[in-house]
Amino acid sequence: MLECAGFVNNIFVEFTPKQKKEYNEYVEKISPTSRKGWSLFRAFLIGGLICAIGQAFALLFGWIFPSYDKETIGALVSCALILIASILTGFGVFDKIGNFAGGGSIVPITGFSNSLTSAAMEFRKEGIIFGTCANMFRIAGPVVVVGAAISILVGLGYFLGGLVNLW
C-alpha cells in the first residue's frame, strides 16, 4: 500500500483511509502490468545466447591462434563482440534485440558497445570532435569512471591487506 501523505502548498496533509484506498485503486488501474516471468526468461535466453556466441568465438580463436593464451583470446572475443554489437546498433538491429531481451542484452559487453555507438551516431551531425568524440562517453562515461574507481579501491585494499599480512 502506498503512503498517501505529503505537502500541499507547504502544508503537511495526511489523507483519510477512504482517500488512501481510492488512490491505491487508481494507481493499480493505471499502472502497466508486467509479465516478469516472461521478461526474465527472454533476458536469460538472449544474455545466454550472447555469452554462448562469445564462447564460440573463444573456441574459434583458440583453434585459429593456438599459440595465444587465454587472456589474449578473451581480449579478441571482447573485441569481436564489441564490433558485432556496434555494427548491429548502426543498422538498428540491436535496439530490436534490446526491446525483446531487456537486461539480457545490456549486461554483457554488448550493452556497453551499444551505448557508445548510439551516442556516437546521435551526435555525429555536430562534427567529429565536438559532436561524436565529446558526447560519446556522456552515457557510458560514468560506467568507466565507477569501474576505474572501484578497481583502484580494490587494489588499494589488496595492497593494504598485504601490508598487514591479511593474505
pTM greater than 0.85: no
Q: Which residue has the cell 595465444?
A: 68
What per-residue string of b and e applies to 143-166 under the rule 16 or more CB within 10 Å gives b? eeeeeeeeeeeeeeeeeeeeeeee
Q: What is the pLDDT of residue 71?
A: 94
The residue behind cell 555494427 is: 87
Q: How far is Cα 104 from Cα 43, in angstroms, rounded to an integer?
A: 4
3-state secondary structure of 138: helix
Cα Rg of the chain, angstroms: 24
Give the model confidence (pLDDT) of 78-131 as tens digits.
999 999 999 999 899 988 998 898 878 777 788 888 878 877 787 777 777 777
Q: Indicate the domain borders of the chain.
A: 47-135
The three grid cell numbers given for residue 66, joined into one nine-digit string: 593456438
Indicate the angle between helix axes 93-101 and 109-122, nearest 10 degrees: 130
pLDDT tens digits, one per residue of 20-38: 888 888 888 888 777 788 8
Tell me the pLDDT of the chain averaged across its residues. 83
Percent of the chain with pLDDT over 90: 32
